[in-house]
Structure 1
Amino acid sequence: MSTNIPVITLNDGLDLPAIGLGTYSLNGFSGVESIKSGIEEGYRLIDSAFNYENEGAVGRAVREASVPREQLRICSKLPGRHHEFDKALRTIEESLLRTGLDYFDLYIIHWPNPEQGKYVEAWQALIEAKKRGYVRSIGVSNFLPEHLDRIVAETGAAPSLNQVELHPYFDQAVQREANAKYGTVTESWSPLGRGKGDGVLEDSEVQAIAAAHGKTPTQVILRWHTQLGAVPIPKAGSREHQRENLDLFDFELTNEQMKTISAFSQGGRRLWNQDPAEYEEF
């Protein structure tokens, strides 16, 4: 079990582990077992979403785990179709009922859905949910700098976290700077890109860096995220991969090694064709 995961402090005071477990597609009873094994291996941040349809699996894993609830950080996300204030609050309540938990440590807006234009209303609902004790900390996901500027200007409340697509092919330098302006932590979804077969993990330079540290290419890329100041949330269903992904904090990449990995992002591109300026999630 990993016990050396650094902790960061969000702008509202909540402490968060420097790496989390992504749970997309970890559903049903097998999902429960995968999430439980992740907790047993040392994960304390568990990322879910209403639209992943696995909040029940997450909740059951939390209840069955040997780790006390207060040591865990459970996150879920508001879907685009429920951005209206009242709908958003009911959805958060439904998420709690699905998990069987009394509160979420973190709840975030999944996508801004700018065509609908209701993300400020959704953000106001999250502010209210925090006041009601449903949520300890509130954030956003896939919000561009202009989206952040608008919600802060209209509500006075800055998100504690912004979860965005971030990997060596798209290092989000501009977005990370915009997040930092508000003390908003950057969290990385799809931190390995497309994983094995997408070129990064098989790249000879990345493999050479890994060999120099006695680590795997996956561990090198995840370490790159943490040294950027981002919190990666790789999905890992097997105990073997969960252990591999957590074994990051006993080595440090040099400045040159960091630059080598960041160079993949020249002419940066999203891998999933989901531009938050126009993408609509429901």
Structure 2
Amino acid sequence: MSAASQYVQLSSGYQMPLVGIGTFQVTGKNRIHDVIDEALNVGYHSIDTAAVYRNEEDIGYALSSGLLHKYGLERENIFLTTKLAPSDHGDPRQIRNAVETSLRALGSNYIDLYLIHWPGAARIPENSVDNIKLRSITWQTLVDLKSQGFLRSIGVSNYTVKHLEHLLQDCHGVKPAVNQIECHPHYRQEQLRDFCNKEGIHVQAYSSLGTSNENSLLKDSIVCNIAKEINVSPAQLLLKWALQQGIGIIPKATQKQHIRDNIKLDFDINDDQMKRLSVLPQKKYAWNPDNVV
């Protein structure tokens, strides 16, 4: 089955493509246009952004200025994910304004998936218990906005098991549909993934290729050797490692060949190769939410 045609059924009842195009640090109207143009051309139907990426308006412009028509698509054929900034976390009025701002920027009357970007509020120390209360307020507000039709699915990002346990104690009848987390062979997050699977929360990975200046994940000898065995790139191997386990992926790319390669995942990693990838030393590359109460 083509990676472009794989979907996951979310707890909200909506389907989400397992592979999306990430847009972190992709800015500029022309650059965004070119990335989305090529992504739609090769089969991506999911776009991941966030308020803090400052590119929602350019994404909305690209979609509304002819790209959807170019590929015979309608708005409902595209799955748009965006996220609440930590600076808007915990204040119902600011949350509603943030959602309205994202809707206007994206040129849509609904958002397919809206995530709380970070478990802590920007103005609150990480070790403050106020973060628990603010997360609850934020979630209740998102549940209300979902019930009004502005948000089709709601979820979280960078939530640990403890953050999810707090949320599920008082989730107002709506569990998170997705938890978007750093996940790759160097940071497998098995306990968190098991918890999410048990609770029906889909795990979507970011930083699938690692995010270090040394690119140590892409250069890992075991990763490179297995990639050679299968005759794929290390990047494709790392993306397939997640996809083969049902983990969603949103790789960022700006070069046409990378955009194409990142969805060309029609191969299998055998059991022995998966075992070798699943015993690599653990190293976190991105932000660490563990200290947020």
Compute the TM-score of the two structures, normalised by the length of structure 1: 0.92
Residue of structure 1 equivalent to 2:259: 242
List structure 1 runs of 4+ shifted beyond 4 angstroms.
none
- Aligned-pair distance for 1:4? 4.4
1:143 equivalenced with 2:144 (yes/no): no
Q: Secondary structure at the match of 1:206?
A: helix
Task: Please list the CA deviations of residues 190-214 of structure 1 after superposition, one character each: whole Å capped at 9, or x if unmatched.
Answer: 1100278423322333223222222
Map 1:267-282 → 2, pairs under 5 A: 268-272=282-286, 274-278=287-291
The runs of 5 or more residues in structure 1 that have no matched partner are none
Alignment match, 1:59:
60
State how far apart, in whole Å, the 2-side matches of 1:191 and 1:4 are. 17
In the alignment, which residue of structure 1 is the partner of 2:123? Answer: none
Q: Secondary structure at the match of 1:168?
A: coil
Alignment of 1:1-282 (within 5 A): 4-29=4-29, 30-63=31-64, 64-65=66-67, 66=71, 67-83=73-89, 84-113=91-120, 115=128, 116-117=130-131, 118-155=134-171, 156-194=173-211, 197-248=214-265, 250-264=266-280, 266=281, 268-272=282-286, 274-278=287-291
- SS of residue in 1 equivalent to 2:5: coil
User: Per the alignment, in what secondary structure is the counterpart of residue 154 of structure 2?
Assistant: strand
Letter in 1 for 2:16: L
Q: 2 CA distance for matches of 1:33 and 1:121?
A: 38
Secondary structure of the corresponding residue to residue 61 of structure 1: helix
SS of residue in 2 equivalent to 1:27: coil
The 8 Å contact of residues 3 and 18 in structure 2, kept in 1 or not, is answered as no
**Take 1:11 and 1:3, find their aligned partners in 2: how far apart are those partners?**
21
What secondary structure, in the 3-state scheme, does the structure 2 residue paired with 1:228 have? coil
Is contact 1:80-1:110 (8 Å) kept? yes
CA distance, structure 2, for counterparts of residue 196 and residue 146 of structure 1: 30
Alpha-carbon contact 1:196-1:202 (below 8 Å) kept: no
| Alignment deviations for residues 149-203 of structure 1 (CA, whole Å, 9 cap, x no partner) | 1112112321000000112210110110111121000011111002784233223
Counterparts in 2 of 1:191 and 1:211: CA distance versus 1, 3 Å? same
Could you tell me which runs of 5 or more consecutive residues in structure 2 were left unpaired when the two chains were aligned. Answer: 121-125
- Return the alpha-carbon distance in structure 1 between the equivalents of residues 57 and 4 of structure 2: 29
The code of the aligned residue for 1:271 comes to Y
Residues 168 and 192 in structure 1, CA contact (< 8 A), matched pair in contact too: no
Distance 1:195 1:251, change over 3 A: farther
User: Are the aligned partners of 1:111 and 1:143 in contact in 2 as well (CA < 8 Å)?
Assistant: yes
Shift of 1:255: 1.4
CA distance in 2, matches of 1:54, 1:235: 14
